[in-house]
Amino acid sequence: MDRNYSQDLLIAIERADRAGANAVIQAWAAGRDFRQVVPELLAPVLETFGKVWATGHGGVSLATGYVASKIAEDVLTRLLQEAKDSGSVLPVKGPVVLGNVEDDFHPLGRKMVAAFLRADGWDVRDLGVDVSAAEFVDTAEASGAKVIGASAMMYTTAKNVAKIRQEIDRRGLTGKLQLAVGGAVFKLRPELVADFGGDGTAASAVEASTLFETLRQRALTLDSPAGGLHP
Amino acid sequence: MNSFERILATLQNQPTDRPPFFLNASLYGARLTGASLDDHYTQAALYAEGQMAIRDVFSPDLLTSPFLVPAIGEAFGSSRRDHPRQAPNISGFAAQSAEAMLKLPLPDVDSHPRLVYLRETIRILAAKYAGEVPIIGVLVSPLDIPPLVIGLEAWLDALLFEPAVAQALLDRLTPFFVALAEAMFSDGATAVALTANLANKDIVTPDVAHTLTLPCLRTALAELPGLVIFHHGGCPLVDQLVRFKGLPNVAAYVLDAGENLGAARQALGPGPVVMGNLNGPGLSDLQPGDVQALCDRAFAQRGEDRQFILSTCGADIQIDTPPECLAAITEAVCRAGGVEA
């Protein structure tokens, strides 16, 4: 009987079993092109895992999500090494900018999002903690990123998302540069996403890539001549 | 009844003149004194003045030392960032890994300036309110100290991937935690309040909780010479009370915002006091009438349960919260008890 690698990988992730997950991936890759591991195995499994995580009823702890991000990092590390060894280049979806908002010093969630985004092919420009609104937008403009991801854990710091919104609007980038927000406070109070000027959020770090793709497409549409933002 | 008698009666499941209540108003005291937050969080006498002002204006039944756990991180060498409108936060960690933290000296609870600051606030408040208002010393359990010193990511790395190192660090931190708590009791604290987030199933895996953090928590709490208030620390608690009930010396459990008080009692059984369930940071967005409704809902949930303290939970009450919203809580408990505010 053929082994159900997806099921085995999901079980390992849900058990926060990093070594077990890597063993499943290793077994899957035997005789296969490792570059297909993300689209054929990891991404679908993470999508399923993300849905369980997002419901909040699957017993998924922060640590389990963290281990999932480490597994994604492990895969990316191997992909990068293989690309380096073979002289090939990994496909890149495009640049995105990440950071914790001004006065926020809680990096874990942001780092997990960065790991999942990188594993899914995004060129992540991670600015770290306590990032000013100007630095977010400067980096997006310089890199050509269409999406900023701003993380905040608490209500008091989440208010600083509004400064990024204002900076985007002040520079005439409304719609052309989308603002994704995340962090514990937005999960607890989803209405704050709109209140502070966010364009969207994801229910878990795993789902960030889908959100960023949606926002990037929206930005491209709004930035096109038919999108109505050009004079 | 004064507040001390009221809280004592609540612990003993005896009737009170009105329901007791608590405001997490560590930050809010600065609003009443007009002190800068830099001074509020470094000068013990100024902080204590803030708590006295809170007592004078709103009459809560418990007062606290600063809700300032980053000060414990500072004592290990982490750096802090002050803020004009909120409590300071850790901005740089003292070490990069659990292994590196094992090599850091343990802070002296009698001489480190940040720990002396915390303790001095207790001494001042206890002297002022002896026999009148219980004073709560605020700290964190040994499990929650590493995130203040090496960050949560490095601590999870140890708990998940280097359990022997994590165990060694927990063993090293437990005596420090016990020494700090003992010092707070000797300063006059009636109880200590703490978090244990790294034993919460929303944060760690069941394996980490069962093999590392919960055993450490039990050991540490058993060594304390006084009562403990177990704070939810930002995570929902009700569906985990079965795991946490019966922890040594724990006399009360603070629930998360909106959690069902009746369900908590059902999970705990008779004995421990249930505290909650008002969203402290969220009060700034409410009108006094909304706050009144939340208080009424809490009283309806507690029913005939006398071992209940109406409390704000979550983080500090924000400094821009209208005082009328806090006064609404005072009025609610007085109305519930049929006494004058």
Residues of A in contact with B197 (CB under 8 A): none
Within 8 A by CB and 6+ apart from A22, the residues are A71, A74
Q: CA B105 to CA B86: how far, in whole Å?
A: 29
Distance, first Cα to last Cα, chain B: 14
pLDDT value of position B312? 97
User: In chain A, what are the domain boundaries?
Assistant: 5-86, 94-227
Residues in B closer than 8 angstroms to A63, CB to CB, are 156, 159-160, 203-205, 208
Minimal Cα–Cα distance from B181 to chain A, Å? Answer: 27
Contacts of A67 in chain B (CB under 8 A): 160
Question: Kindly report the CA angle at B21 between B232 and A190, in degrees rounded to 5?
Answer: 45
Distance CA A30, CA A26 (A): 7
Which one is the CATH code of A94-227: 3.40.50.280, 3.30.1360.180, 3.40.50.150, 3.40.250.10?
3.40.50.280
Q: At what angle do helices A161-170 and A133-143 cross, to 10 degrees?
A: 50
pLDDT at res. A231: 37
| Residue given tokens 């309110």 in the structure block | B129
| Interface pTM, i.e. ipTM | 0.92
- Range A182-196 average pLDDT: 88
Q: Which CATH superfamily is domain A5-86 in?
A: Methionine synthase domain (1.10.1240.10)
From residue B196, give the alpha-carbon distance in Å to each of A211, B175, B230.
Answer: 33, 16, 8
CB pair distance less than 8 Å for B81 and A103: yes
Range of the domain at B304: 3-337
- Evaluate whether A38 touches A78 at the Cβ level (below 8 Å): no
Q: Report the distance separating Cα B139 and Cα B145, nearest Å.
A: 9
- Residue B211 sits at the chain A interface (C-beta within 8 Å): no
Q: Calculate the alpha carbon distances from B148 to B157, B178, B215, B314 in Å.
A: 15, 17, 21, 18
A154 touches chain B (CB under 8 A): yes
Taking the CA of residue A50 and the nearest CA in chain B, the distance in Å comes to 15
In 3D, which of B54, B87, B93 has the Cα closest to residue B69? Answer: B87
Give, for A110, the enclosing helix (H) or strand (E): helix A108-119
Searching chain B, which residue's CA lies closest to the CA of residue A19?
Answer: B161
In the block, which residue shows the tokens 């060894």?
A: A85
Question: What pLDDT shows up at residue A225?
Answer: 67
pLDDT at B338 over 90: no
How many structural domains are present in chain B? 1
Say what the alpha-carbon torsion angle B210, A46, A208, A90 is, to the nearest 10 degrees.
120
User: Given 3-state DSSP classes, what are the helix, strand and coil percentages for chain A, each rounded to the nearest 5?
Assistant: 60, 10, 30
A17 shares contact with chain B (CB less than 8 Å)? no
pLDDT at A7: 96
On the question of pLDDT at B291 being above 50, the answer is yes
Inter-chain residue contact B202 with A67, CB threshold 8 Å: no
B189 and B135 in contact (C-beta within 8 Å)? yes
Q: Which of B144, B160, B232, B320 to mutate to test the interface with A (most CBs of A within 10 A)?
A: B160
Give the count of beta carbons closer than 10 Å to the beta carbon of residue A213.
15
Q: How confident is the model at residue A87 (pLDDT cuts 50, 70, 90)?
A: confident
Q: Is the pLDDT of residue A227 over 60?
A: no
Domain with residue B185: its CATH number is 3.20.20.210
Q: What is the pLDDT of residue A230?
A: 41
Could you say which residues from 52 to 111 on chain A have a Cβ atom under 8 Å away from some Cβ of chain B?
A: 59, 61-64, 66-67, 103, 105-108, 111
Q: Which amino acid is at B338?
A: G
User: What phi and psi values does residue A7 have, to the nearest 5 degrees?
Assistant: -65, -45
The answer to whether the bond into B2 is cis (omega within 30° of 0) is no
B129: CB partners within 8 A, 6+ apart: B4, B55, B63, B135
Percent of chain A at pLDDT > 90 equals 68
| Of B71 and B315, the one with more pLDDT | B71
